Amino acid sequence: MEIRCGINKGDHDHLEKVQRRATKVVTEIRDLPYQDTLWVLKLPSLRYRRERGDMLQTYKILHRLEDMALDTTRGHSMKLQKSRCKTAPR
């Protein structure tokens, strides 16, 4: 299973298919290629929106606009710390 931006490929393709279908509702641009349809409607791609959201969230965490632990024991003060799971699968 391939993961892209925190979402697996199957879910990504399904969401993209829904957006493609929704853009076909506008009859004037129905016959345009998908990328041109997005441009005419001024819509970013789903992948762009997810990546932008990830970058915004990271910025908020690094600048302490979101409550999350930062690891400042080694390296620089902007290092993120991922919490560890305390259970072991059998």
pTM: 0.59
What mean pLDDT do residues 42-68 have?
85
> Per-residue pLDDT for 86 more than 50?
yes
What's the length of the chain?
Answer: 90
Q: Which residue(s) pair with 80 in the sheet?
A: 70
CA 2 to chain centre: 15
What mean pLDDT do residues 17-27 have?
91
Beta strands in the chain (DSSP E): 3-4, 7-8, 70-71, 79-80
Which of 17-26, 57-66, 73-82 is most confident?
A: 17-26
What mean pLDDT do residues 23-28 have?
90
Our CA angle for 22, 11, 62, nearest 5°, is 100
> Per-residue pLDDT for 1 more than 50?
no
Q: Rounded to the nearest 10 degrees, how much is the dihedral formed by the CA atoms of 53, 54, 55, 56?
A: 50
| Average pLDDT over the chain, rounded to an integer | 79
